[in-house]
Structure 1
Amino acid sequence: MTKINLFVFAAHHLSGNIAAQRFKGLLKYLDPAKYRIYVFAREPAPGAPAATLPPTPGITVLPLPGHCVGSESSAAASLLTMAAAFLRPLPFLFAGGAGRGQPWLVRALAAADRLCTEKLAAGERCVAIGTYSPIDSLVAAASLASRRRIGCLQDFRDGLVFEPLGQPGRLRTWMRQLIERRVVAAANLVTSVSPPLVADFQRRYPRKAAATLPNGYDPADFAAPGNATTDDPRVAAILARWVPAGALLIGHFGRIGASDGSASRSLDFLVDALNASPATMANKHVMFVGELTQQERATLERARFSVSVLGPVERTLALQLMQRCDKLLLLTGSRASCATGKLFEYLAAGADIVCVSGVRNAATAILAETGAGRSLLTGDGAAAGDALRAALAPGAADAQRDIGPYSKLAQAGMLDRWITDMVQP
């Protein structure tokens, strides 16, 4: 049986952000006897921290230089990529050049096209996968799939049209809609992180297959806490410095309003509710690990309970700190589709999760489904405050929790079935 070649365009693959973990932890669980995987990643900028990836059978990661559409590139520098969404042969016309300013899209497609041509000539099957963000990855997958007439999966995570980090403005919104429409047109299957987002794709593109590929956790990332062979010595040092001895530790990891501005209001509610009940926070400490906005830091300055703000730390250290928490705090806002990546790492970390949210959303549904924690809505006023205080009381997590469907191992099985169906004659 001939192998299936996957050409995965993931510009963010070598970064340390949570988006990178989506496919980084997934691909390694595909059967190397069945798949040969090429990941086209963006080479980290000089001085930027780069992810360390252990060698994995069947997976080749190709770090390529070049700018992508985003805050670090000018509008002029991004024109080729945006134009390529509409004129798919365009980037291949520039593939022979070697200019220093060549976009990542051109370099990635040149490398992928050579490999794809070789594999197709050998009678092997090929599939292109684009993983947002940036849009360059989606455009690359659409371009290769159209040129070589191969299957295409476009994974949007929680972008493009509904990307909260996109710059505002009618023109930019219109352009995002047009580009989304073009990259979806080349896809055999569109995936996104939560059922509300998938339902939106199905409504707007009724002739396209769409499926939920939730974020998840990689079982290999979670060793038993307290294991001297795996614990980073910095974990004990951080806890000794910031957490009062014997205190119940409540941890929040990652961004809040920087990813979803409405989630900052949940932080406001949390601080007000805990300030109003000093007895609730006796012998408890709240630790924030990750990027906070200036306004969120100002909110925490008025906290009258024990709290610390560590700022961002490397992912492996953050995961070990998660496993040392007694409670894990999730703050979401008014987006019904919200299923933030940190939730799934929280699930695997094992502590009881307390979600403060503006609305019932995908995250609160997952907590109810898995039995991994409790949710409360800021709009419930005094009742929400009472629920928060009860949720933060000492107590074991639900023994009936079932988080198996959110393991990357289980999700790799879903991806395998989708790709297998895609290449059937």
Structure 2
Amino acid sequence: MATRIGLLGRWAGDNVDAPRPGCSFFDGFALRHDSPPHLLYVAWGFAPSRSGGVYRLLATANAFARKGWDVTVLTVPRDVFERSTGVDPSLESRADTRVRVERIPFPHEETNLDLRTWGAFRAHAPELWNGWKAWQTARVFPEPRYGLWRPELERAAERIHAERPVSLTIGSGNPNVVHTAGLHLHERHGVPFVMDYRDTWQLDMYSGRRTLSPKSRGAAWERRMVAAADEIWFVNEPIAAWHRELYPEWAQKISVVSNGFDPEFVGAPTAPRTDRGEGLVLGNIGTMTSQTPIRQLVDGWIAARERGALAQDRIDLFGYLGHQGDDEGRVLEQIARVQDGSVSYRGAVSKATIAEVYARLDALILPLGTSPFMTSGKVFEYMATGLPIVSVHDPRNAVSDTLQGYPAWVPAESLEAADVADALVRVAEIASTQTLEDRQVARAWAERYERARILDPIAERWRADIDARGAA
């Protein structure tokens, strides 16, 4: 059974569970003019998931609620996150109180590692069981681990639409199965839908290769959804351009909806630390995986200190070690190479306390994997602090375009130790003399990426479109 959180309270005399009388959505393709439009927002990793995409999900739901939409979020039960991505309990209260969250069942046998609950087939032949489960999933929807969610999504979307006609569906992937709810309502009832890709389905972000055969079931499903969707959003221009080339006949539907920052999480720029003269603190905040160049960062740090630079300074690393907490990138092993203790791992940080952590830092380190398609949600929050930022990533990364023009940005010319060392020294020089006014100037430049500036116009545009369809 779905769990519902929050009250809409604006359905002209209805309670939250009652269908609206006298309103057929497709009679003129709209709700009554005295009722707000209804957004169905499908998002697997909604709060309290601690995945990086959760902030875009929260911001999108909140933006539509702020602009007068009734918003229903369709997601999974909390215990799914406890077994997979982990949870940040502080995030759940960040959803607008007008947003209704429905948590529907999610088939998750593959993530259940408790041997006591396994059946005889899985316990005695786990490889055969995995193959059978993959075959079963592919028949429903060709996405490993997630495809079996499709029937639950379609049933829930149909029920929600019957209770309160849906004006627009947005699915925010990954997983890509979230888009099936919008496709279902579109094909059954003509409801417009948007595909919001935080990640991509067919593009390997690191190699730039297409990961699915054009004749595969996954490619066929994506083509079907792209053909039917009203809009397709990607987070940066290189990814959008790749997909325009893949789907030239629908290129006009593809646009960039950038990530951004949430002022309530970051706070206002703070004054520099009064004791920074005794040693600077450079910090990185974010999940560190095998793709994060921590080894190269440590190489550069050691090289700089061997030159006699940064002698009083230190690096503090915050965040999760791998998506599953397994330190897949061997971060602790790399830290141990710095024998003087000037590089430390400080653990994860909740969003409720992240502004306090930024206030204790003098400069920020941005280590990212190598790819011209690579983007980062963290960079927007970094810019919002006004602190100096040192990029420890390949200059070809798409995030370089985002940072171009930021007043306190220092890019490493390459990931070679000497170039990383040079960049660390330069950012320390900026951090040692930066003033509060300097930080405020940098924040003013970054405000173009405030999420409300990105998402509010979209919510307004779609409301005008829905109203126009109703008046037609």
C-alpha distance in 2 between matches for 1:161 and 1:85: 15
The correspondence for 1:354, drawn from 375, 390, 402, is 390
Report the counterpart of residue 309 of structure 2 in structure 1: 280
- Counterpart of 2:376 in structure 1 is 340
2:337 paired with 1:302: yes
> Following TM superposition, by how much is the alpha carbon of 1:187 offset from its aligned partner in structure 2, in angstroms?
1.2
Given that 1:244 and 1:285 are in contact with CA atoms closer than 8 Å, whether structure 2 keeps it comes out as no
Return the letter of the residue paired with 2:174. Answer: S
Once the two structures are superposed, the pairs formed by residues 97-246 of structure 1 within 5 Å of their partners are: 104-120=149-165, 126-162=167-203, 174=216, 176-208=218-250, 209-224=253-268, 246=278
Give the 3 Å change call, closer, same or farther, for CA 347–225 of structure 1 in structure 2: closer
* In the alignment, structure 1 residue 271 sits paired with structure 2 residue 298: yes
The AA in structure 1 aligned to 2:99 is I
Aligned to 1:59: 99
1:257 paired with 2:289, answer: yes
1:275/1:303 contact within 8 Å kept: yes
SS at the partner of 1:252? strand
Partner residue, 1:94: none
Report what 1:89 is aligned to.
none
Structure 2 letter corresponding to 1:162: L
1:310 positional shift: 2.3
Deviates more, 1:23-32 or 1:198-207: 23-32
Give me the whole-angstrom Cα distance separating, in 1, the residues matched to 2:458 and 2:131: 35
Alignment-mate amino acid for residue 316 of structure 2: M
TM-score by length of 2: 0.72
Q: CA deviation at 1:118?
A: 4.0
Q: Equivalent residue for 2:462?
A: 419
Q: Among residues 389, 395, 398, which one is paired with 2:433 in the alignment?
A: 395
Q: Cα distance, 1:70 vs. partner? A: 7.5
Q: State, as a whole percentage, how many aligned pairs show the same letter.
A: 21
1:4 to 2:37 alignment: yes
Determine which structure has greater relative contact order: mean sequence separation of CA pairs < 8 Å that are 6+ residues apart, divided by chain length: 2
The aligned amino acid for 1:281 is: L
* Secondary structure of 1:130's aligned partner: strand
Q: Distance between the aligned counterparts of 1:26 and 1:382, measured in 2?
A: 41
1:214/1:160 Cα in 2 relative to 1: closer, same or farther (>3 Å)?
same
Indicate if the aligned counterparts of 1:367 and 1:374 stay in contact, CA closer than 8 A: no
SS of match in other structure, 1:141:
helix
State the match for 1:405 in structure 2: 448
**CA positional deviation for 1:324:** 2.3
Cα deviation for residue 175 of structure 1 reads 5.2
Contact kept, 8 Å, 1:6 with 1:36, in 2: the verdict is yes
- Alignment check: 8 A CA contact 1:81 1:105 kept: no
Cα gap change, 1:311 to 1:249, in 2 (>3 Å): same
After the TM superposition, which of the residue ranges 388-397 and 331-340 deviates more from structure 2? 388-397
CA distance in 2, matches of 1:344, 1:222: 10
Q: Which runs of 5+ in 2 are unaligned?
A: 1-32, 114-129, 322-327
- Residue number in structure 2 paired with 1:235: none
> How far has the Cα of 1:21 moved from its partner?
0.9
- Give the distance between the partners of 1:399 and 1:53, measured in 2 at CA: 29
Larger-gyration structure (1/2): 2
User: Which residue does the alignment assign to 1:290?
Assistant: 319
TM superposition shift of 1:300 = 2.0
The range that moved more, 363-372 or 322-331, is 363-372
Q: CA deviation at 1:254?
A: 1.5
Residue in structure 2 matched with residue 36 of structure 1 by the alignment: 70
Structure 2 equivalent of residue 25 of structure 1: 59
Distance in 2 (alpha carbons) for counterparts of 1:161 and 1:308: 37
Look up the equivalent residue of 2:71 and give its one-letter code: I
Normalising by structure 1, report the TM-score. Answer: 0.79
Contact kept in structure 1, 2:39 and 2:170, CA below 8 Å: yes
Report what 2:9 is aligned to: none
1:20 corresponds to which letter in structure 2? Answer: V
How far apart are 1:183 and its partner, in Å?
2.9
Matched position secondary structure for 1:338: coil
- Deviations along 1:323-369, one digit per CA (max 9) or x if unpaired, are 32111100123211222111122122331111111232221111113
Q: Secondary structure of the residue that 1:211 maps to in structure 2?
A: strand
Judged with a 3 Å threshold, the aligned counterparts in structure 2 of structure 1 residues 186 and 314 are, in CA distance, closer, same or farther, namely same
Separation in 2, partners of 1:85, 1:143: 13
Cα distance in 1, alignment partners of residues 210 and 398 from structure 2? 27
Deviations 1:114-165 (A, max 9, x none): 2223444xxxx61111111222212222222222211110011122223569
What are the Cα deviations for residues 93-118 of structure 1, in whole angstroms up to 9, with x where unaligned?
A: xxxxxxxxx95443333232122234
Q: CA 1:172/1:307 → structure 2, altered by over 3 Å: closer, same or farther? A: farther
Q: Compared with structure 1, are the counterparts of its residues 299 and 33 closer, same or farther at alpha carbon in structure 2 (3 Å cutoff)?
A: closer
